[in-house]
Amino acid sequence: MKQFKKSLTITAILLVLFSCKENSEPIEITPDHFHTAIDKVVDVMIHDIFSPPVASRVFVYPNIAAYEILAQNDSSYYSLENQIKHFGAIPSPDRSKSINYPLAAIIAHIDLSKQLIFSETKIENHRDSLYNIWEATNPIEFKASKDYGLKVASYISGWMNKDNYAQTRTMSKFSVDSEDEGRWQPTPPSYMDGLEPHWNKIRSFVIDSAAQFKPVPPPKFSMNKNSDFYKELVEVYEISKEITKKGDTSEEIAIAQFWDCNPYVSVTRGHLMFAVKKITPGAHWIGITKIAAKNDKADFNRTVFAYTKTSIAIADAFISCWDEKYRSNLVRPETLINTYFDDEWKPILQTPPFPEYTSGHSVVSGAASIVLTSIFGDNFSFADDTEIPFGLPIRNYKSFKHAADEAAISRMYGGIHYRAAVEVGVGQGRKIGELVTDKLTMVKK
Amino acid sequence: MNKKIIIFCFSIFFLACNKEEFLFNNPSSKETGLVFENTIKPSDELNILDYLYYYNGGGVALGDINNDGLLDIFLSANQEKNKLFINKGNLQFEDISLKANISGNSSWNTGAVMGDVNGDGLLDIYVCAVVGVHGFYGNNELYINNGDETFTESAEKYKLDFDSYSSSAAFLDFDLDGDLDIYLLNHAIHTQESYGKASLRYKRNEQTGDKLLRNDGDSFTDVSETAGIFGGINGYGLAISIADFNQDGFPDIYVGNDFHEDDYYYINNGNGTFSDQLKNYFGHTTRFSMGNDVTDINHDGLPDIISLDMLPEDELVLKTSDGDDNIQNQKLRTQKFGYHYQFTRNMLYVNQQNSPFLETALLSGVAATDWSWSSLFADFDQDGEQDLFISNGIPKRPNDLDFIKFISNDQIQKKLNNTKLVDKEALQLMPSGKVRNYVFKGTKNLEFEDKSDRWISNKKGVSGATALGDLDNDGDIDLVVSNINEEVSLYVNQTNDKSNYLRLKFDYPLPNAFGIGTKVYSYHQGELQFKELYTVRGFQSSSEPVIHFGYGSVQQVDSIKVVWPNMTYQTLKNISVNQQITISPEKTKPFNYESLIKKSSKLFEKVSNNLGINFLHKEDNYTDFNRQKLIPYQTSDRGPAVAIGDLNMDGKEDIYFGGSKFNPAKVFLQKDSLYVEEKIQIIANDSINEDVVALIADFNNDNKNDLLVGTGGADFYDKMKPLLDAYFIQTDTGFTKEQFPKYYENASVIEAYDYDNDGDLDVFIGNNVVSGDFGDIPNSYILQNNEGSFSLLENQPFQNIGMITDAIWDDYNSDGFTDLILVGEWMSPKFYKNTMGSFVEESVIDSKLKGLWQQIIPFDIDKDGDVDYLLGNWGKNSKFKATEEHPLRMYYADFDNNGSTETILCNYKNGSYYPLLGLDELASQIVSLRKKFTTYKSMAGKSINEIFEKSILNKATIFEVHTLASGYLENENNRFEFMPFINELQVSPISSFLEYDFDFDGKKEILVSGNYFGVTPYHGRFDSFPGALIVSRDSIVLGNKLGLEFNQKAVKKLNIIKILDKPYVLATINNDKAQVYKLTH
């Protein structure tokens, strides 16, 4: 009898051990989880219609939160504390708890993303379905990771909310003066107000000020046929005529449309209007980051690192670009072409609602491509499928630089920029990318 | 037995209670035989995305085609065949379409109108079509009446077989040659994405352009080019009304154009040509012009106009629909592209006879009737006042903001990319636009009462073309309304014999047997009713060719003057009511149209050389709304300052004008017979200042006049130097700038008075707003004069008093001491009793009287010997609504805790307060709202209490306005009761009062000016007040009858100037040239 009781007890203990073991599987977090989290935010941003500069802010803060959490547990990555001068250390994790750092990183990312967008329910639904799975898999690890993730998110949130965004919401609108012909005015069809005229007041990350890479001024506005400006204007008009002649299947149109990245193209038919929405320029490069990380088979931490460094460069690129846009306040080609050459001319792309110089896509592409090169290398060829959901094809690039160069010129093909804006712009962006690469030491060499 | 009686009584009671006692009944098509539906079936190949006027509907034409005394009905549809119904009497209709041969061969029809095209005395039918796009084929068709209930299609024969994009057609004899010509109203079909220049209208396009077709007997000739009729590519002509607007005997034309093309106001030059005079007679028009109609609403014998747009009344719809332009785009459209001002709401224009129209839709209560198509005036209840019926609705709302921004993308995007077509399902996602029609009862004082709930059924639908006529021969006016995807509706008027009427038909010589263009002046008991016979009115339809008047309980009409189209007339006397009479020309006499021009003594005559005062005030480019997006109106445009006084001590009065930012002030010195500009350097130096108010007086008692200038502009803020007021003393060698107390405020008024009785002029300076923080109360000051040097009083009694706009020193309580009265915005007039040098506020008004007060002047308006106070307010003609029980509210707080404040204005509606602005505007300032309301629908229909948390609202200051009416405080033993002015003085904010004996009759009158443009397009533009002369409470004459030209001018201040002993009126105008008027008496 005693023997039987003993074996029963042992069996019971064993059973308990086994069953506990079933509940103590670590929660597996793969790079795909992070990719999906970012994809979800992009979806919501498209729905909520975030403008390109504001979108860059929505990317960068959650990424930094995720990165900082990983850096707590991976000595091959350095924290950004003291590298970004106004950023102090995040709360340290309680090492006694079984924190799953990638999990905490994703939780922090989701939480901050939710704060930054408008349609919270969409993010919440995604989050809750994941939470259910994770909690069922390993409730103890989940709780510890969640607690830590949210704690860091809260900290980052406090830091984030001091970046002047709230104050810029109520700052003055850009004032239009249609008598000043060289000055930007709203463009058809919606004649929207100039977006984010105070974006240069947003706290930057690595550049020391919005004007650190202030570019040379654009060619001075003049309708004198011998002036540089006039020649640039004519160039845009001539290019568009050539492209239109070539027809819908021309390579130039394909390039222009591929890099349109206009989050809100309004289509009017009489009283009926609707919006055709897409990702922003920043989101396009975030998408390229995803492709690079996947092709590179980067592990979770490297993936997060890539997104973070790239989104920091993109964020600063917008601050620098918008600083110049609302300094030179240059009029768009469409306004002048309609007034002087052809009142029925329409650019191939819809002119976005902000001044012309420098080209946002050029600056952002320049910056992002340098950072991605520093992570993944030169001549990293890839197939860019980011625009497939928007009915555009895949395009192949030999390198990030190749993609950035094409993005820049695409704005001229699109009829929405003069040459100076894209050539100077991409250079402006590259300088920012180089600064970010130099100044931020994130990976142990 | 008793039981049966009880049941019987119950049934009667039940039936009586359930019987809808509407003014109009709607018998069903089963009951009447009027079976017709404009069925529209959107397909993937053709829907609202392909053809922008897919939902405009068909047409309705009423006329007695078989001369049996019963009104017949012709109906056209978009995709269905035309139908003709004969009236068999007793509201029974028989479909004779097949026999009549009028079914039509075009695939898409629009308007249908009846008129005697071939001049044989029988009504023909002209049906419009859209041809040449979307596979539409056919042409406009003309059915000539054969007289036997059959018709022969003859459009080609008469050269009326146009294959263009037609909406409707109107009949008029524009050259007075006796036959009826035709104005063909066409519309463009492309979506104009960029504004394009207004000059596009000069380039003729045969498909889209309107056409004036002259009747040459056996065919029509297009004379548009020589006649000056536009036919441009950007004309979206949707509605037309013909009337002799300027009463010269020649018919004129009003065309309503949708989208950004202006409406056209063609004045007939009498020589076969027209001139478009829109900008001269209208300060602004409807933006998406749809139906229009003409009648005399105020018994002055002049035709007034209503034009329809699409402003919803319902909060749920209002806050989910795309709204007005922003103010910068408005500037672009008007200044750069050449268009006129247009706003999205109905407009009601009151004819001022050769002066610009007054626009009063908001005041009259007819501005918001949702997506409106047809407007028709008639005296439905026959009480002698014209009433108004408006049909409205659209199957799907394409301007729904959720659809545009959120819903559309997912569905349409995929389909557009794959197939270039749009799914029917995507269209289903648009919310329904079915709404109930509106009917308004006319009253005597330009106001209409909404009787929609009581007079007609509240059934929601999509109603468009509508026509008027007496279908059951009981004398009152019935309606036939064409609907989309529903049977045509009959509105049978139940007035019957409750009120008296008269119906007038004309038997005029061929080829205009129906007497189109005849004018009728009906007089009973001193009251005039005026009508002109034109049958094409409203939208895509024509009404019966009969003139109808209501007379209430009056039994006999004193006289009726009939003025024939050939400028002869005859008078009928003592006509009994309740009958239809046919009048033919008999013993006619020539009619002198000159006699219609009411000769009013023009007290004022503009001086052509302005007496040398060529002052042009130029506003700077600053827009308050760029800085503070939600404020109710600007405060930066209250200048320029103007002061009259002898500046060079030569015994003659000179003029000082302030300048806006960067524009220097200007001085005009009076010379022999003219004023000459003189540069006084020190005064012109401070050109960065915006000089808003000024005073010339001798402050230091040295017998030389000095100058005090109050600055403002609402652009400078905090402690910026340009906010300091300036004080210049005149010495032997000129002017020097003196020390002056330093306070940084936006000045609005300076009034001087020696209140402390020490021999020198002290000054009250009222300040109006705190720059960049609308809602924060500025300080106003008493400055004490000590031998020419000013200092602030120790204890300032006027800190934080209010947003002051005007002040007067006056002894309101007749106690021998001069008191101070202040008026301002968001406050009540304040009376301060002067108690030996200090001020104590006294309550002398019993009612709650907070307003947006602009001006005050003492005047004995009721001629009872005591002084009343005239008060200029914002006027009742705006989107603001204020009553004592339900004041207009402005919530003021830092709603999003980001360090800057916002103001949210709310109107009371159906039990709650709703913000005037929608989600986009509010969220542009308060971004957290985008998180709280992720769709427009989620915020629509919510009151301010549901939009903001209690905690936030509790910390807000709530400003109120109890009345927006200008009027006067009637003095009753030194207590004051507010009496509003007549509605003609409520049309715009009032900016200035000037007291003088303008007509030299020994008694003083008050001249009034107003108008203001510093509001967003949401509010429109207050531009149609022509000024007025107040002789007494019951004697007020509008400025346009006196020779004043104040229309479309924001007149800032009126002054009397005297040169060579003759008085003149100087009108200083914001952003325009000053005007000088001679007093002619």
Amino acid identity for residue B911 in this structure: G
A170 close contact with B: CB closer than 8 A: yes
Tens digit of each residue's pLDDT (9 = 90 or more) over B206-240: 999 999 999 999 999 999 999 999 999 999 999 99
Half-sphere exposure of A8 (CA within 13 A, CB side): 5
B950 close contact with A: CB closer than 8 A: no
Q: Is the pLDDT of residue B877 over 70?
A: yes
Q: Across chain B, what does the average pLDDT equal?
A: 93
The DSSP output letter for B983 is G
Cβ within 8 Å, pair A272-B49: yes
* B6 — pLDDT class (breaks 50, 70, 90): low
Nearest chain B residue to A192 by CA: give it.
B329
What is the nearest CA distance from A56 to chain B, expressed in angstroms?
17
* B1032 — pLDDT class (breaks 50, 70, 90): very high
Residue with tokens 């079933």: A22
* Preferred mutation among A46, A168, A271, A273 to probe B, highest tally of B CBs within 10 A: A271
Residue with tokens 């468009």: B464
pLDDT of amino acid B795: 79
Query: For residue B227, what is the enclosing H or E element?
Result: helix B224-227
Q: Is the pLDDT of residue B14 over 70?
A: no
Q: Mean pLDDT, to the nearest integer, of B778-801?
A: 90
Pick from B457, B491, B489, B492: nearest CA to B474: B492
Cis (ω within 30 of 0) for the bond into A355?
A: no
pLDDT of amino acid A331: 98
Rounded-to-integer distance, Cα B752 and Cα B761, Å: 6
Rounded-to-integer distance, Cα A97 and Cα A104, Å: 12
Q: Mean pLDDT, to the nearest integer, of A349-361?
A: 97
Q: Is beta strand B500-506 parallel, antiparallel or unpaired with respect to B580-583?
A: parallel
Tens digit of each residue's pLDDT (9 = 90 or more) over A363-373: 999 999 999 99
pLDDT of amino acid B684: 84
Nearest chain A residue to B415 by CA: give it.
A391
Residues 811-840 of B with CB under 8 A from A: none
Q: Across chain A, what does the average pLDDT equal?
A: 93
* B838 — pLDDT class (breaks 50, 70, 90): confident
Rounded-to-integer distance, Cα B484 and Cα B55, Å: 8
pLDDT of amino acid B4: 66
Residue with tokens 């707003």: B769
Using DSSP, state whether B336 is helix, strand or coil: helix
In contact, B523 and B554? CB cutoff 8 Å: no
* A9 — pLDDT class (breaks 50, 70, 90): low
Q: Mean pLDDT, to the nearest integer, of A392-421?
A: 97
Query: For chain B, how many residues are written?
Result: 1081
Tens digit of each residue's pLDDT (9 = 90 or more) over B614-644: 999 998 888 999 999 999 999 999 989 999 9
What is the nearest CA distance from A126 to chain B, expressed in angstroms?
17
Q: Is beta strand B342-343 parallel, antiparallel or unpaired with respect to B285-286?
A: parallel
In contact, B272 and B215? CB cutoff 8 Å: no
Cβ within 8 Å, pair B934-A119: yes
Dihedral sign for Cα A430, A431, A432, A437, please. positive
* B418 — pLDDT class (breaks 50, 70, 90): low
Amino acid identity for residue B547 in this structure: I
* Preferred mutation among B413, B618, B623, B929 to probe A, highest tally of A CBs within 10 A: B413
Tens digit of each residue's pLDDT (9 = 90 or more) over B943-998: 999 999 999 999 999 999 999 999 999 999 889 999 999 999 999 999 999 999 99
Cβ within 8 Å, pair A275-B409: yes
State pTM to two decimals: 0.93
In contact, A287 and A403? CB cutoff 8 Å: no
Rounded-to-integer distance, Cα B462 and Cα B468, Å: 18
Residues of chain B in contact with residue A118, where contact means CB-CB under 8 angstroms, are 930-931, 934
Strand ordering across the sheet containing B24-25? B24-25, B489-493, B478-483, B463-469
The DSSP output letter for B483 is E
In contact, B397 and B391? CB cutoff 8 Å: no
Residues 6 or more apart whose CB falls under 8 angstroms from that of B34 comprise B73, B85, B93, B480, B487, B488, B490
pLDDT of amino acid B689: 85
* B5 — pLDDT class (breaks 50, 70, 90): low
Strand ordering across the sheet containing B868-872? B855-859, B868-872, B967-972, B975-980
Rounded-to-integer distance, Cα B724 and Cα B592, Å: 62
In contact, B299 and B523? CB cutoff 8 Å: no
Rounded-to-integer distance, Cα B945 and Cα B334, Å: 38
* B17 — pLDDT class (breaks 50, 70, 90): very low
Q: Mean pLDDT, to the nearest integer, of B497-517?
A: 96
Determine the straight-line distance between the first and last CA of chain A, rounded to whole angstroms. Answer: 66
**Residue scoring higher pLDDT (B388 or B429):** B388
The DSSP output letter for B409 is H
B373 close contact with A: CB closer than 8 A: no
Nearest chain B residue to A274 by CA: give it.
B404
Tens digit of each residue's pLDDT (9 = 90 or more) over A158-168: 999 999 999 99
CA B948 to chain centre: 33
Q: Mean pLDDT, to the nearest integer, of B744-767?
A: 93
Cβ within 8 Å, pair B322-A273: yes
Q: Is the pLDDT of residue B424 over 80?
A: no
Rounded-to-integer distance, Cα B497 and Cα B499, Å: 5
pLDDT of amino acid B421: 53
Cβ within 8 Å, pair B927-A119: no
Tens digit of each residue's pLDDT (9 = 90 or more) over B180-209: 999 999 999 887 777 788 999 999 999 999
pLDDT of amino acid B896: 87
In contact, B125 and B113? CB cutoff 8 Å: yes
Q: Is B652 exposed, middle or buried (0-12, 13-18, 19+ CB in 10 A)?
A: middle
Using DSSP, state whether B925 is helix, strand or coil: helix
Q: Mean pLDDT, to the nearest integer, of B769-782?
A: 94
In contact, B254 and B292? CB cutoff 8 Å: yes
In contact, B530 and B296? CB cutoff 8 Å: yes
Q: Which two tokens stand for residue B211?
A: 């056409």
Q: Is the pLDDT of residue B403 over 60?
A: yes
pLDDT of amino acid B194: 73
Helix axes A31-48, A281-295, angle to 10 degrees: 170
Which long-range CB contacts under 8 A does B978-981 form with residues at least 24 apart? B978/B845, B978/B847, B978/B849, B978/B871, B979/B1033, B981/B1036
Rounded-to-integer distance, Cα B311 and Cα B435, Å: 12
B139 phi and psi angles, rounded to 5 deg: -170, 170
Rounded-to-integer distance, Cα B346 and Cα B493, Å: 25
In chain A, what is the greatest distance between 2 CA atoms, to the nearest angstrom? 110
What is the nearest CA distance from A173 to chain B, expressed in angstroms?
4
Cβ within 8 Å, pair B405-A49: yes
What is the nearest CA distance from A264 to chain B, expressed in angstroms?
9
In contact, B48 and B394? CB cutoff 8 Å: no
Tens digit of each residue's pLDDT (9 = 90 or more) over B892-939: 999 988 888 999 999 999 999 999 999 999 999 998 999 999 999 999
B391 phi and psi angles, rounded to 5 deg: -95, 150
Which long-range CB contacts under 8 A does A293-296 form with residues at least 24 apart? A293/A31, A293/A35, A294/A31, A294/A35, A295/A380, A295/A382, A296/A376, A296/A380
